[in-house]
Amino acid sequence: MKKVAGFFLSRLGTGALIVAPLYLCLLLVLKALHSLHGLMQPIAKLIPDWLPAEGVLSLLLILVVCFVIGLFVRTIPGRQFWDLCDRSLFQRIPGYGVIRGLTQQLAGQTQDGSWKPALVELEDALVPAFIIERMSDGYTVFVPSSPTPLAGTIYVLSLERVHPVDVPFTQALQVVSRWGAGSRNLVAAMQKTPPP
């Protein structure tokens, strides 16, 4: 009974970790569309009735605002402002740093060494993992469960038990989500990697 409850709760938690951010993002967009709906009514009266003008114009306004914010953040003052907000506000939100690092890896923006693919020695086996943080005498690693790579276990391991691999983050994520298929590529990349 205890195993069944653990199995059920772990799968429920994994599903919630995947569904909750998508749901919240969708709710945020829908709320923004609803808020802008009334604002767009005067302009929408100029467009034919068969077109859902308020919705289309609201969506276009959201896209324009996102584009302008993206332009601003690419400037030096915008980058400084974003860094200030990131350090003073967003980093205090639990889980924000991990999610940000994960999304940067998925987008191919590797600004720091977090979420670097690795093979770690656990007992007598090599296990796919991701390096979260490097310490002076070891690593903090996240060992994902298969086939749900967003759930797993955190380990603090010595340097000699962690072997970084020279593969893209998405390739290592696919190995985990495909129940280990493609692990030979990780082992081959580990053999090319010099010891830390």
Task: Quick: pLDDT tens for 72-90.
Answer: 888 888 888 878 877 777 7
Q: How many CA atoms are closer than 13 Å to the CA of 48, on its beta-carbon side?
A: 2
Chain mean pLDDT for the chain: 74
The whole-angstrom separation of Cα 162 and Cα 93 is: 29
Confidence (pTM): 0.50
pLDDT band at 182 (very low <50, low <70, confident <90, very high): confident
pLDDT band at 148 (very low <50, low <70, confident <90, very high): confident
Same domain (yes/no): 35, 84: yes
Same domain (yes/no): 122, 81: no
Contacts of 118 (CB under 8 A, 6+ apart): 128, 129, 130, 131, 139, 141, 162, 163, 164, 165
**88 found inside a domain:** yes
Taking 60 as the threshold, does the pLDDT of residue 151 lie above it?
A: yes
**102 found inside a domain:** no
Of the listed ranges 146-150, 151-155, 166-170, 185-189, the least confidently predicted one is 146-150
Token pair, residue 6, equals 């653990």
CATH of the domain at 170: 2.30.30
**182 found inside a domain:** yes
Domains held by the chain: number: 2
**30 found inside a domain:** yes
Give the count of beta carbons closer than 10 Å to the beta carbon of residue 173: 20
The whole-angstrom separation of Cα 90 and Cα 127 is: 32
Of residues 193 and 95, more confidently modeled = 95
Taking 50 as the threshold, does the pLDDT of residue 194 lie above it?
A: no
Token pair, residue 62, equals 């959201």
Per the structure, the complete domain to which residue 17 belongs is given by 2-92
Same domain (yes/no): 136, 83: no
Confidence at residue 189, expressed as pLDDT on a 0 to 100 scale: 78
| Adjacency order of strands within the sheet including 138-144 | 152-158, 138-144, 125-134, 116-122, 162-164
Domain end point (choices 92, 126, 155): 92
The whole-angstrom separation of Cα 26 and Cα 21 is: 9
The whole-angstrom separation of Cα 100 and Cα 14 is: 18
How many helices (H) and strands (E) in the chain? Answer: 6, 5
Same domain (yes/no): 84, 163: no
Q: 4-47: per-residue pLDDT in tens?
A: 766 666 666 556 555 666 666 677 777 777 777 666 666 666 66
Give the count of beta carbons closer than 10 Å to the beta carbon of residue 110: 14
Confidence at residue 193, expressed as pLDDT on a 0 to 100 scale: 46
What are φ and ψ of residue 39, in 5° steps? -65, -30
**105 found inside a domain:** no
Same domain (yes/no): 86, 151: no
Same domain (yes/no): 84, 16: yes
**109 found inside a domain:** no
Same domain (yes/no): 86, 14: yes
Q: What is the average pLDDT across 149-167?
A: 85
Confidence at residue 130, expressed as pLDDT on a 0 to 100 scale: 87
Closest among 49, 72, 51 to 60, alpha carbons compared:
51
Token pair, residue 100, equals 């940000």
Bridge partners (DSSP) of residue 119 are 128, 163
- Tokens 């796919």 label which residue? 128
Same domain (yes/no): 9, 67: yes
Q: How many CA atoms are closer than 13 Å to the CA of 55, on its beta-carbon side?
A: 5
**148 found inside a domain:** yes
